[in-house]
Amino acid sequence: MRSIPLKYQVILVPMMLIVPILFVILLTMSYLQDIDQQNDTVREWASATDQLHIGIAAIHSLQETSNLLQDSQGQDAEELLFDYVEQSRLLIGSLKHPSLTGKIEEKTLSELQASTEKVKYHDDLEISQITPVLATLLPRMEYFYRSLQAQKRSIYIDSNEDINRITSQLATVSISVLGLCVLIGVILSAWIKKSTTRRLQSLTTSAHTLCNQPISGNIRKPRDELDELASCLSVISQRQLNLLATEKLLEGAEEERRRIAMDIHDQFLSDVANIARRLDDISQSKDLSDGDKKEINRTRTELAELTTHLRGIIDDVHPSALSILGLEAALRSFLQRKVSAGNAPDYYLSIETGIDEYLNENQRLNIYRIILELVSNILRHAHCSRFEINLHPIKNMLVLTVEDNGIGFDIEQALKKGQHGLLNINQRALSLQASVEWTASRFSSGSCFKMNIPVENIEMKETGKIAVHGI
């Protein structure tokens, strides 16, 4: 199963927690709506009973006012009539209130409303006719009041039970969802921690592999994987800067070598050729003695040797055969020039064919210079009778080994003394991003140099190996 990208993992935990919380919010809103509906129902029944209570109170007031009106005259009668009109309006208004609709049968409600119209004040109102109407209306309204009161209490009790039930369910669901969110959060956090830690450790291991030989510098002591990764990246950055500086230095040195080689070729060889032509012209003179001719021939021979020597120097300073014919041909030419004396050691050169296709100009030149430095050290210091040079691929690495059967040396002591040849080899190996190792030779004595050079997309066949043996 493929790992979820980190950018999705970051939002996974909040999303997994938001969904249950959103569910609880929606459920709470639904339950609150139900509670509001039940409260509205209770309020409607309470309003209906209140209206009936107002009507009953109005009937009692009307009965009392009617009794007083029969015995009153003058100003007192006018005040009682005013009270009568006010109480009759309250009675009629209470029975016409919308809250009673649906609570009392429509027919019965209509009859009650019709009865209230009889007690409504008008100019021809007969007080004696009001008393029987009020006596008939009062018990009926008291009956409906008690009936609505009983229904209101029942609905109120049911509503309280429903609200308690809804509250209990909501609390249970909320606690359950909260517990589920905590569990999901713990599980996802553990999973993300494991996944992220695994990737981070893998990345840190890879970075540590690149910086397993830390260079000097003020680098913090790592506290965790991130600090260690930052420390390794800092080391890698410093190494890249050093590598870039080394490459620029070597490029400058090679450019200077090329310029010197061109100057020698264009100036010195041209001067030597002119001298040789003048000697040829002088040798054609008839006035020369035999001794003069011998001296001229000897000088011509020395000039030819000087020309050969200068061409060797030019080739060492800037090997034209390397860019024209390739690494193997340039090395073979060098070995034929350097290891040609009768007392020179034997040599063995083994290089894979087609190796130049996988190397750029800078890589070829650095490998060539390293081999030349190693061979020069062998010829000067090793006192050997044989040395071998092998260059072959293993997977994505190009492995160079140079070993001899000489007297060997202590690499640590040589580096402490600051041997320029070894420092030059290390600098060029750093430019190639290669690893260098000095070990004992497979011969009975001597030393072995091994360098692993990372090369991409290199695929060689064992049958493609070129071997050159020295005489």
Instruction: Report the distance separating Cα 413 and Cα 431, nearest Å.
Output: 24
Please report the pLDDT score of residue 243 as a whole number.
60
Q: Partners of 448 in the beta sheet?
A: 403, 439
In terms of Cα–Cα distance, which of 382, 401, 383, 385 is closest to 449?
A: 401
Please report the pLDDT score of residue 6 as a whole number.
66
* Tokens matching residue 56: 């009953």
| Cβ neighbour number for residue 204 with a 10 Å cutoff | 21
Tell me the whole-structure pTM to 2 decimals. 0.45
Please report the pLDDT score of residue 103 as a whole number.
85
Residue 2 carries which DSSP code? P
Contact 219, 234 (CB under 8 A): yes
H-helix or E-strand containing 398? strand 397-404
Contact 367, 429 (CB under 8 A): no
In terms of Cα–Cα distance, which of 181, 256, 219 is closest to 15?
A: 181
Distant-in-sequence, close-in-space partners of 96: CB < 8 Å, separation ≥ 6: 113
| Residues across the chain | 471
Instruction: Report the distance separating Cα 215 and Cα 231, nearest Å.
Output: 11
Question: Angle 6-71/75-95 helices, nearest 10 degrees?
Answer: 140
Please report the pLDDT score of residue 390 as a whole number.
93
Please report the pLDDT score of residue 465 as a whole number.
47
Instruction: Report the distance separating Cα 327 and Cα 367, nearest Å.
Output: 9
Contact 384, 376 (CB under 8 A): no
Distant-in-sequence, close-in-space partners of 282: CB < 8 Å, separation ≥ 6: 288, 296
- How far apart are the two ends of the chain, measured CA to CA in Å? 62
Residue 98 carries which DSSP code? G
Amino acid occupying residue 193? K
Question: Angle 225-263/361-377 helices, nearest 10 degrees?
Answer: 80
| Cβ neighbour number for residue 331 with a 10 Å cutoff | 23
Instruction: Report the distance separating Cα 428 and Cα 249, nearest Å.
Output: 10
| Cβ neighbour number for residue 104 with a 10 Å cutoff | 19
In terms of Cα–Cα distance, which of 106, 102, 107, 105 is closest to 44?
A: 102
Please report the pLDDT score of residue 352 as a whole number.
84
Contact 189, 13 (CB under 8 A): yes
* pLDDT one digit per residue (tens) for the chain, 471 residues: 456 676 676 677 677 778 888 888 888 898 889 888 888 888 989 999 999 899 899 888 888 888 887 776 666 777 888 888 888 888 888 888 888 888 888 888 888 888 888 888 777 667 777 888 888 888 988 998 999 899 989 988 988 888 888 889 889 988 988 888 888 888 877 877 777 777 777 777 766 666 654 444 444 555 566 666 677 777 667 666 666 666 666 566 666 666 675 666 556 667 777 777 777 767 777 667 777 767 777 787 877 777 766 666 666 665 666 777 788 888 888 888 777 666 788 889 998 888 888 888 888 888 988 998 899 889 888 889 999 999 988 878 899 999 999 998 888 887 777 677 788 888 888 888 889 999 989 888 899 999 999 887 665 444 444 444 454
